[in-house]
Structures are given as C-alpha cells and as structure tokens.
Amino acid sequence: MTPILNTENRLPYRVLLLLIIAFALLTIFAAVNFDKILLLILPAVLVVGILFIKIPEIALGAFIVGQNLWGIVATHVGIEQPSLIYMFIGMSAILAVGLIILHKKAALPNKINPIIIAVILVLIVFFFNVHRTQFPHYTLLKSCVFLAGCITPFVFLQFLSGKTEIIEKSLKYALFIGTIPLFYSFLQFFITGVLGQTSRFNAIELVHVNQFARNLGYISVIAIWQYFQTKKNTGRLSSIAFLAASILIIIMTGSRGSLLATMGAIIIFIIAFSEMSGRKKVLYFAIAMFTALIPMVLGLGTMLRRLYSLQYMDLSLAGRLAMWKAAWEHRFDHVIFGIGTGNFASILPAWAVAAGLRHPHNLVVEFYIEWGIIGLFILAILFLCPVLVWFRIFKSDDYSTKTKSIANLMITLVAFSSVNALSNSSVSDPQLFLTLGILSSLLGSLKSRGEVTPLCT
C-alpha cells in the first residue's frame, strides 16, 4: 500500500514566513464586519484543507495551534458566538477529509485500535442522555462543540498517515505558527495597559480565558519536547523563548489549572523522558518548580490572589466549591445513567445557574453526574487506552527512536489534559482529543513487511 499522503513538495521557509506574516496582518487589521467572513475565514479554511493534501505538516501544525488561532480570526471579523471557533476547526477537518478522499489517498482501516474504541464509547455515552436535558440550548451547544472541536478532528486524523516524519514536522510548524497568538497576546497586553490587582488578562475575548491559557500551555509542552529534540543552540534558545513567553502569558491570565497542568506536564517530561543525568534532572526540576512559583515570588496580582485565595470572594474558587458540593449532595440520585448530557446545571443553586456555570470543571464529576457509573467506566477506559498504546510503542522493537520520542510527548500531553481536567476541563476538550488522534495515527504507522499499514492496526 502506498503512503496515504504525498509529502514530496516542500514549501520554502521564506515563503512560509511571508504567509504567516500576511495571515497575522490580516487577522489584526481585518474589518470588524461579519460580512467579511467570506473574504477571510472561508479562504483560510480552504487553504488549510488543501495544505492537508500537499503539505500536511503545516495544516496539522495549524490544527494543533487550534482555537486561539481561529479565535483571533473570528474576533476580527465581528463574530459574536464563541462556539463558531470550533465550527471552523470542524469545517477544516471535513473539507480536508473530502479532499483526501477525492485525491484517492485515504486507506480504510481493517482493524481499530484501543484509542478509537475508547473515543467511540465516549461518543455513545455522550449522546445516550442528550434527550434528558433541562437546558436544551446548552446541550445543543455542548454537542456541537464536542462534534466539531473534538470528534471531527479526531476522525480526520484517522485518514492521515501517522508517519513519524509528518508528525514531527507538524509539531515544529505548530510552534512556528503558534507565535501568532503569542505575539498577538503581547500586542493586546501593551494596548490594554498594565494589569490591575484583580483583572485577568485575556488577549482573545471570544475565547474563554481558561481555554486561552490551556491552549498556550499545550503548545508549551511541545516546546519543551522540541528543546530536548534539537541539538542546535538557536533551536534550543527559540524553544526556551517560546516557553518563557507562553508561561508568562498563562500567569497573566490567572488560570491556575492551566499553569499547574503545564508545569506538571513539563516536570513529568523532564523526569521520565529526557535523556539527562540525574543531577541535571534535579536542576531542571528545580527550575520548573521555581517557574511555577513565580506568581508567588514576584507577586503578580491576578495569579497571586487566585493561587492562595480560599475565600468565597474568589468567584472562580467559590463556583467550583459550590459545583462540587452540589454534585456530592446528588451523588446517589442517578447512579447508573446520570442526569443527562449538559444537564449538570439542574443540580446547582440558582445563583450558580445565573452566573452561567454549566459544567463542573472536573472531568470525573462531569462523567459521573451526567452519565453515572457507566460514564466513570468509560472515562477510565479513555485515559487507560492511551497508556496501553504508548506502552506498546515503547516496548516494540519495530518503532524508531523518533517514534518513541513522539509517543512520549503524546502521553505527556495526555497527562497535561488529565491534570487540567481536575479543575478546568469539560468533556469538550479539543486538546485531549487532538492528542489521542495523533497517538492513534502514530500507532497505525507501523510498517509491516515493507509496506505502510492502514492507519488503524
């Protein structure tokens, strides 16, 4: 079987740089008029789709950058519905799937791997209780985000070759393209002025501040992987600069969960997967821990207040405590099947519902309350399957060192999502399903008898 995608054509880096600059300028200076969407968004989606055929690494890199990149575009064309950010991701994936099929480069799997099974189970349990909701508008919104921002990109990745070269270059392009949201964030910071003691910096208002920070943290973990991958000083310095700038922005957002998930994942990668002596690991661990404590050391108002606050004056913490307390009080109401998809707010106090609280900001609570014991069982499978796939890759002699290195990064990103899931995430977490999609396609790249196997093996 021939490789799924032809990647012989390469785009010169200078041309790529000009395209990125042009895209960034269009993003910043686009007219705030919804009618302009046809002039900016759809061509961008089309370009992403076509790139999946000719230069899939760039398009996958844009996918990894994800919602922040689309959020900037959407903001500057006057879009007011945040959910449309995920729609653009889904549209890009659907278009790319169509182009791949028309291009006759797709291979149908003859078997499915554990990660695909786990995601299918999540999809089934997600829609099992849709009809029981008391909040139809939110349930519909949650379902659309789940489909367009999580499941559709995951399915799309199953059409692509998981060849190590493609994924490795995609991750590098993600860091390069990721400088757009980063520079845009600093630009917005300088325009809006100095942070106050209670404000939370959010460069892309259309994207929720925690999702904005989470996306930066996700790419930051890729940056630390790239730091250990490259041997060139310029590459290492670039990775460190990207990492430092991203963490600074995350601190400015005051997103405690994103900061802890990012630094936790970085520490896991340094200790478990970096090829360093024990002394160096201790040094890097100390640096990472010190970085995590910067908000406390420097006293950056937002993060400092939010990190040590245990009072109900912190609405964020108060909301979480109220949601978890409500969940505990209703823990035996619907043990088997839960209370229904998107229906968590039905057990919340009136003030919490009025404040717009809809999901519990804890994946374990969400799966249990909305889908019962069945949901908890499937959640366990969802996080167990990537570990099984990673273990298979790690123990197999058929996989190259680079393949194992990428697998180590992917399992670290699963850890990132799992840590973040304790205080921020809902089931509609694009980063988690993107990670699972890449890991799944990586498993399918194993060569057997000199031929490229179908994507799922």
High-pLDDT (> 90) share of the chain, %: 19
Kindly state the helix (H) or strand (E) to which residue 448 belongs, with its residue range.
strand 447-448
Q: Residue 23 in contact with residue 180, Cβ under 8 Å?
A: yes
Please state, in angstroms and rounded to a whole number, the distance separating the CA atoms of residues 174 and 385.
25
Q: What is the pTM of this model?
A: 0.83
pLDDT greater than 90 at residue 143? no
Q: What is the pLDDT of residues 20-47, one digit of tens each?
A: 565 555 545 544 444 555 555 566 666 6
Q: Residue 274 in contact with residue 281, Cβ under 8 Å?
A: yes
Please state, in angstroms and rounded to a whole number, the distance separating the CA atoms of residues 315 and 354.
13
Mean pLDDT for the stretch of residues 89-104: 75
Domain boundaries, the chain: 13-452
Q: What is the pLDDT of residues 226-282, one digit of tens each?
A: 998 888 888 889 899 999 899 888 888 878 788 889 988 999 999 888 887 788 888
Rounded to 10 degrees, what is the CA torsion of 213, 442, 421, 387? -150
What's the gap between Cα 23 and its chain centre?
22
